[in-house]
Amino acid sequence: MIELRGVARRYGEEVALEPTDLAIARGQTTVLIGPSGCGKSTLLRTIIGLVAPDTGEVIFDGVRVDAASVRAVRRRTGYVIQDGGLFPHLSAADNVALMARHLGWDAPRRQARLDELAALVRLPRELLGRPPGALSGGQRQRVSLMRALMLDPEALLLDEPLGALDPMVRIELQDDLRAIFATLGKTVVMVTHDLAEAAFFADRVVLMRAGAIVQAGAVADLERAPADEFVTRFLRAQRRGFGGAA
Amino acid sequence: MLVLVLCAACGDGARVRIGSKKFTESVILAEAGTALVREAGLEVEHRRELGGTTILWNALVAGDIDAYPEYTGTIAAELLADAHLDADDDVAMRKALADRGIVMSSPLGFSDTYALGMREDEAARLGITRISQLRAHPELAYALSHEFLERKEGWPTLRERYGLDATPAGMDHELAYRGLVAGSAQVTDLYSTDAEIAVGHLRVLVDDLHHFPDYRAVWLWRADLAPAAAAQLERFAGRISVAEMIRANARARIDGEPEAAVAADLVARVLGVRVAAVSASRADRILTHTGEHLGMVAISMLLATLVAIPLGILAARRRRTGAVILALVGVIQTVPSLALLVFMIPLLGIGWVPAVVALFLYSLLPIVRNTAQGLTGIAPSLRESAEALGLTAWARLWRIELPLATPAIIAGMKTAAVINVGTATLGALIGAGGYGQSIMAGIRLSDRATILEGAVPAAVLALAVQGVFSLAERWLVPRGLRPARGARARVPAVDGAA
Ligand SMILES: Nc1ncnc2c1ncn2[C@@H]1O[C@H](COP(=O)(O)OP(=O)(O)OP(=O)(O)O)[C@@H](O)[C@H]1O
Ligand SMILES: [Mg+2]
């Protein structure tokens, strides 16, 4: 579904992403994990052209992502970031329906889709009239997810979607998200800091370090056969910090 | 609408336009000339108090006015300075003027010569009667009119001729008198027909070295002025004595009579002709000035908004171009408003158009800057979200970025509009009318009521403009961005001050 071929990116002297190859299978949930600053967000952004690679190319469903194709690729993808990135000047409903309106959907069609999505993400419909500033963090993430799903995209890219939430809300949303992924069967690429969360969602975990992929596979594979010393240390550190979760 | 206003400003050829400088004698003479031309059945208009000599002369040459009262000394020393003419050589002067398409009338009778004056009691105490005696009193403070300080035959050469050693303060002619009365200055420049001389407050110092040329009053008119109008103006030839002129000045400045009435009376006394004194009621004047003022502010603001918002967007998009744009509109802001207005005259003439253009230029900076800051201040996560949706650059600008920047943009417009209302009072200096007309006339006549007639509505208008923009904020700023609820709005508040 998504393929990175030798994608690399630097900012001045700083290497954000070494030349990287990665294939992401359709319908799977892939989780990017690794220490802060290792290039997870950068990798995610290159997929929909928010960051242009210095070298290499991204293939999305057989199409090379470039200036000509990027808008179409973005419309076939839903993107959610840590604090939601909701536009404060629009109501929750208008945030969700923005792109549909831009594409000329009529009001009944938009409303029907809104109702459907509100039910899917379990957001009370009356909250949709509020501006994002008047919603809780968890509610905002549900609205963000609705916005990402509005055009029924084939892929979902989530950059630490639950990172800013308190543990109770986070666990609740983890359950809901996993249910939604299972229902919709979309291709999901998710970034997290938390191994337990990764294990909870992932068909496949991609562990990164300093701009490069160290090892990819199921969490159990990483534990059983760590590729190097770093993998072992990373897993151990995660176990201590978040012992017992999931 | 705009076209209509512009054409109202350019005027029609049939109507005679007589201009006056912004001092009482010039206003009375122009008013008298206007009345007499009207008496001959011609369409005529008095464009009052347009400013100083430069403005009137340029307006005459450019054809924005057809005639105005001038003085031979000024013509020789200022207007035709390059020709090095003698102020008494009428033949040479007429010829030089004719080369520029201008006709000089026969002298009206009186001379209004520059002079230095002191308060009578002060001069008597120090025993000063002649200018040369001032050299012995370097302790005296001089308050001189700006025009006198600048003019070639004024302070620069006077000080040399008499060897005076003083650092004069420049101020408005009419204000200098008050400084003298209040005792903050002891010497001022004055005109030999000044009203204050008549009531005996002032002593005119004798020009014992004969520095000042003769300033005989004349009309200047364009060679293409309707012959009937020229004939009417020529009727004043030799009829107005110094005594008549001082008397008229005193009635206007000291007794506070309307200039139209004073002028009608002058015409009756010197020519034996009864003319109607056309003078508007206070309410009419306020109404007219409000229309003129509002028009200037509204049109310049409209144009500025249309130009400044795109410039602000460009400045936000391209940092380097943006820096250049902001520097340019910033430089405009530093040009003193009066200088900018005077610059406009050779390019755009007098009246509405140059005033609106000047106000337009002044209004750019706050709007450009706030638009640019409002756009660059948008949180990166919001930009990224908008991009990730797959919106086109235009749609992002229109649906996301500009709405997020509206609070800043409106704050910029509000600042521009309030500055604009204040600056528009200067429009009166170049014939654009507005509240400044009353303020200037009031200062000139030392008439508080007339000053307030302009100052109070100007203040009220400034408040009203603030009110309108506060309402606009309520209407235009999206709910989620308003301070009360939009605690999460990430657009930084941009201050509006210039
Ligand atoms: N716009 C940018 N300009 C300069 N440097 C950048 C930029 N974006 C990322 N970087 C650098 O690239 C490297 C990778 O950043 P990236 O955001 O991809 O890391 P990350 O793995 O997502 O980290 P975190 O877990 O903290 O979100 C970092 O060293 C970062 O400082
Ligand atoms: Mg990141």
We report the CATH number of the domain holding residue B194 as: 3.40.190.120
CATH code for the domain in which residue A65 is found? 3.40.50.300
Does B7 have pLDDT greater than 70? no
Model confidence at B490, in pLDDT bands (50, 70, 90)?
A: very low
CB-based contact B384 A91, cutoff 8 Å: no
Q: Is the confidence at residue B494, as pLDDT, over 50?
A: no
**Ligand 1 centroid vs B231 CA: distance in angstroms?**
86
User: Is the C-beta atom of A206 inside 6 A of ligand 1?
Assistant: no
Chain B nearest C-alpha distance from A17 (Å) = 19
- B36 within some domain: yes
- Separation CA B278–CA B34 (nearest Å): 10
Q: Is residue B138 domain-shared with residue B178, that is, in the same domain?
A: yes
Query: What is the residue range of B200's domain?
Result: 114-204
Do B75 and B139 have their domain in common? no
Which residue of chain A has the CA closest to B398? A102
pLDDT digits (tens, 9 = 90+) for B72-122: 988 988 898 888 888 788 999 999 999 999 999 999 999 998 889 999 889
Beta carbons of B488 and A88 less than 8 Å apart:
yes
Interface check for B389 against chain A (CB to CB < 8 A): the answer is: yes
Same domain, B169 and B130: yes
Best residue of A87, A99, A103, A146 to probe chain B, by most B CBs closer than 10 Å: A87
**B199-243 confidence digits (pLDDT tens):** 667 888 989 998 888 889 999 999 999 999 999 999 999 999 988
CA of B31 relative to ligand 2 center, distance in Å: 78
B255 shares a domain with B289: no
Query: Which residue of chain A comes nearest to B403, CA vs CA?
Result: A89
Q: How many domains does chain A have?
A: 1
Interface check for B404 against chain A (CB to CB < 8 A): the answer is: yes
CA distance A101 to A108: 11
Ligand 1 within 6 A of CB of A9: no
Residue B497 lies in a domain: no
- What is the crossing angle of helices B402-423 and B282-317, to 10°? 140
pLDDT at B284: 87
Does residue A89 lie within any of the structural domains? no
> Hey, whose CA ends up nearest to atom 31 of ligand 1?
A37
Q: Quick check: B114 and B153 in contact, CB under 8 A?
A: yes
A14 located within any domain: yes
| Closest in B388, B485, B486 to A79, CB measured | B388
The residues with which A4 forms a beta bridge, in sequence order, are A22, A58
pLDDT of residue B13: 53
Helices (H), chain A: 40-47, 70-75, 92-102, 107-120, 137-149, 167-184, 195-201, 219-224, 229-242
Mean predicted lDDT score pLDDT of chain B: 87
Distance A2 CA to ligand 1 centre (A): 22
Best to test chain A binding among B389, B392, B394 (most A CBs inside 10 Å): B389
Backbone φ and ψ for B67, nearest 5 degrees, come out as -160, 155
* Per-residue pLDDT at B492: 43
B474 found inside a domain = yes
Q: B206: burial class by Cβ within 10 Å (0-12, 13-18, 19+)?
A: middle
Q: What local confidence, expressed as pLDDT, does residue B425 receive?
A: 92
Q: Judge whether B339 lies within some domain.
A: yes
pLDDT at B488: 44
Residue of B nearest to A157 (CA): B388
Whether B420 maps to a domain, the answer reads yes
- Chain B contact set for A87 (CB, 8 A): 382, 385-386, 400, 403-404, 480
B234 in the same domain as B135: no
Site from A60, A89, A136 to mutate, B interface, most B CB atoms within 10 angstroms:
A89
Find chain A residues with C-beta within 8 A of B482's C-beta: none
pLDDT in the model for residue A142: 94
Where in the sequence is the domain holding A24, given as residue range(s)? 1-76+194-246
Is B409 at the interface with chain A, CB within 8 A? no
* Residue A148 resides in a domain: no
Same structural domain, B404 and B296 = yes
Task: Output the DSSP codes for A75-116.
Answer: HTEEEE-TTTT--TTS-HHHHHHHHHHHTT--HHHHHHHHHH
Q: Please report whether residue A146 resides in a domain.
A: no
Question: Does B89 fall in a domain?
Answer: yes
Q: Is residue A219 domain-resident?
A: yes
What mean pLDDT do residues B302-319 have? 95
Answer yes or no: is B170 within a domain.
Answer: yes
CA atoms within 13 A on the CB side of B177: 18
Kindly give, in sequence order, each residue whose CB lies less than 8 Å from that of residue A215, ignoring residues fewer than 6 positions away.
Answer: A207, A222, A226, A227, A228, A231
B311 and B227 co-located in one domain: no
Smallest CA–CA separation between B477 and chain A, in Å? Answer: 8
Q: Cβ separation of A131 and B485 shorter than 8 Å?
A: yes
pLDDT for B347 equals 82
Q: Is residue B56 part of a domain?
A: yes
Nearest CA in chain B to A73: B390
Q: Which residue of A has its CA nearest to B382?
A: A85
Cα A40 to averaged position of ligand 2 atoms, centre (Å): 6
Q: How far is A133 from chain B (nearest CA, A)?
A: 5
* Residues B87 and B124 placed together within one structural domain of the fold: no
> How many residue pairs from chains A and B have C-beta atoms closer than 8 A?
86
Q: Are residues B200 and B59 in the same domain?
A: no
Q: What would the pLDDT profile of A118-151 be if each residue is shown by its tens digit?
A: 999 999 999 999 999 999 999 999 999 999 999 9
What backbone torsions phi and psi does residue B287 show, to the nearest 5 degrees? Answer: -60, -50
Chain B residues whose beta carbon lies within 8 Å of the beta carbon of residue A81: 381, 384-385
Question: Which residues of chain A are modeled with pLDDT < 50?
Answer: 243-246
pLDDT of residue B102: 96
Are both B353 and B460 inside the same structural domain? Answer: yes
- Ligand found nearest the CA of A42: 1
Which pairing describes strands B114-119 and B102-104: parallel, antiparallel, or unpaired? unpaired
- Find chain A residues with C-beta within 8 A of B491's C-beta: 88
**Does A183 sit in the ligand 1 pocket, CB within 6 Å?**
no
Rounded distance from Cα A160 to ligand 1 centre (Å): 14
Residue B444 pLDDT class (50, 70, 90 cuts):
confident
- In chain B, the number of structural domains is 3
| pTM of this structure | 0.76
Phi/psi for B207 (5° steps) reads -85, 75
CB pair distance less than 8 Å for A81 and B384? yes
**Interface contact B478, partner A, CB < 8 A:** yes
Does one domain contain both B378 and B320?
yes
DSSP A10: E
Contact A110, A100 (CB under 8 A): yes
Partners of A60 in beta bridges: A2, A63
CA A216–ligand 1 middle distance (angstroms):
21
Long-range own/partner contacts, residues A124-129 (CB < 8 A, 24 or more apart): A127/A92, A128/A91, A128/A92, A128/A93, A128/A96, A129/A91, A129/A92, A129/A93
Atom 22 (ligand 1) nearest CA: A41
pLDDT at residue number B184 = 85
**Judgement on whether residues B123 and B176 belong to the same structural domain of the protein:** yes
Does B493 have pLDDT greater than 80? no
Q: Does B323 touch chain A (CB under 8 A)?
A: no
What pLDDT, on a 0 to 100 scale, did the predictor assign at position B190?
A: 85
CA A81 / ligand 1 centre spacing (Å): 14
> What integer is the mean pLDDT of B39-43?
90
Query: What is the reported pLDDT for B6?
Result: 44
Judging contacts by C-beta atoms under 8 Å, the chain A residues touching residue B395 are 102
